[in-house]
Homo-oligomer: A and B are copies of this chain.
Amino acid sequence: MIDKLVKKIQETDAPITVGLDPMLSYVPEHIQKAAFAEYGETLAGAAEAIWQFNKEIIDATYDLIPAVKPQVAMYEQFGVEGMKAFQKTIEYCHEKDLVVIGDVKRGDIGSTSAAYAAGHLGKVQVGSKTCTAFDEDFITVNPYLGTDGIRPFVDVCKEEKKGLFILVKTSNPSSGEFQDRIIDGKPLYEHVAEKVAAWGADCMGASYSAIGAVVGATYPEIGKVLRKVMPNSFILVPGYGAQGGKGKNLVHYFNKDGLGAIVNSSRGIIAAYKQEAYARFGAEHFAEASRQAVIDMAEDIRGALK
């Protein structure tokens, strides 16, 4: 899957993912109204609204991008109905041949991580049959529990040719509270990064490991350091745009081959029509605004990498 991701990045010349994080407040009123008319102001109504919203954005952008990153929390908040929308979104992205990065940030002890890995990346055994549940291509995972919390995910990745992005340095303001603390002369995030490199060493694709890292766009100096600590790991970079990151700050997240990082934007793309720069599209044409925002973002990053 890491090879497919690299290939699709090269084909689209756009190392970006669209974050499908549909807060209900991003969904234009006409879509909400239609969904509520059919299902009422219920969890099912909300789930239908975010699904229709996603579908239009996918239709308007899939030819420009290699991957999407749905944030499961935005679906999980609507309960079982929300999880149906999550699954439908993943299936639809697969139909469009997009790489799907499930932003689930799971992580637990051995057998429990194994269950998460089976549900999101692998297969589960039910009697004599094997079934698949959510079936993302990559997921994000949390490293706080150490190697035996991560190993079951890595095992499934090897078996199923899937991949991970492990949280190393997150984009939020207080990420430093624990992640930046100095241990033996180096910040915790650097120790985690060394582990990511080690965990990924025997999961190599053609040029990159299937085991990548999450490093926020909001800390470019740290990105520069971590790029060197994990030379073979792909870096998923959240925090572009709305959280403040810009293309020119992200150059050092990439390797000299122009690869090695993939930058995510969520609100900046899916709610583009709410920004002044794209207001001309109007709420009716929100998906076209998203398409334009993708074009602009890809150009910004391409320009910076030149």
Binding site for B on A (CB under 8 A): 21, 23-24, 32, 36, 41-43, 45-46, 71, 73-74, 76-80, 82-84, 87, 105-113, 115-116, 118-120, 124-129, 131-134, 142-149, 167, 170-179, 181-184, 188, 191-192, 195
Cβ–Cβ < 8 Å partners of A124 in chain B? 24, 43, 46, 77-78
19 contacts between A and B (CB under 8 A): A23-B111, A42-B129, A43-B131, A73-B115, A73-B116, A77-B124, A78-B124, A79-B133, A79-B134, A80-B84, A82-B133, A107-B142, A144-B144, A146-B172, A147-B174, A149-B172, A178-B191, A181-B188, A183-B183
Q: Is the CB of A177 within 8 A of B147?
A: yes
> A73-B119, A77-B118, A144-B144 are known contacts. Are A125 and B172 too (CB-CB below 8 A)?
no
Other-chain residue from B24, B106, B192, B195 in contact with A126 (beta carbon distance below 8 A): B24
Cβ–Cβ < 8 Å partners of A71 in chain B? 108, 112, 115
Q: How many copies of this chain does the complex contain?
A: 2
Cβ–Cβ < 8 Å partners of A21 in chain B? 112
> Quick one: closest B residue to A239, CB to CB?
B109
Complex Cα spacing A69 to B188, Å:
31
Other-chain residue from B74, B111, B132, B146 in contact with A115 (beta carbon distance below 8 A): B74
Other-chain residue from B41, B87, B115 in contact with A127 (beta carbon distance below 8 A): B41
Cβ–Cβ < 8 Å partners of A118 in chain B? 77
Q: Is the CB of B145 within 8 A of A172?
A: yes
Among A133, A181, A182, chain B packs the most CB atoms within 10 A around the CB of: A133
CB distance from A191 to the nearest CB of B (A): 7
Among A113, A179, A181, chain B packs the most CB atoms within 10 A around the CB of: A181
Q: Is the CB of A145 within 8 A of B170?
A: yes
Complex Cα spacing A21 to B112, Å:
9
13 more contacts with CB within 8 A, not counting A76-B115, A181-B191, are A42-B126, A46-B131, A73-B113, A78-B119, A79-B132, A80-B87, A105-B108, A142-B144, A143-B144, A144-B178, A146-B172, A178-B188, A178-B191
Cβ–Cβ < 8 Å partners of A170 in chain B? 109, 144-145, 149
Among A73, A143, A191, chain B packs the most CB atoms within 10 A around the CB of: A73
Other-chain residue from B77, B107, B112 in contact with A119 (beta carbon distance below 8 A): B77
Among A24, A32, A119, A129, chain B packs the most CB atoms within 10 A around the CB of: A119
Q: Is the CB of B32 within 8 A of A127?
A: yes
Q: Is the CB of B119 within 8 A of A172?
A: no
Cβ–Cβ < 8 Å partners of A171 in chain B? 109
Cβ–Cβ < 8 Å partners of A146 in chain B? 172, 174-179
Complex Cα spacing A36 to B108, Å:
29
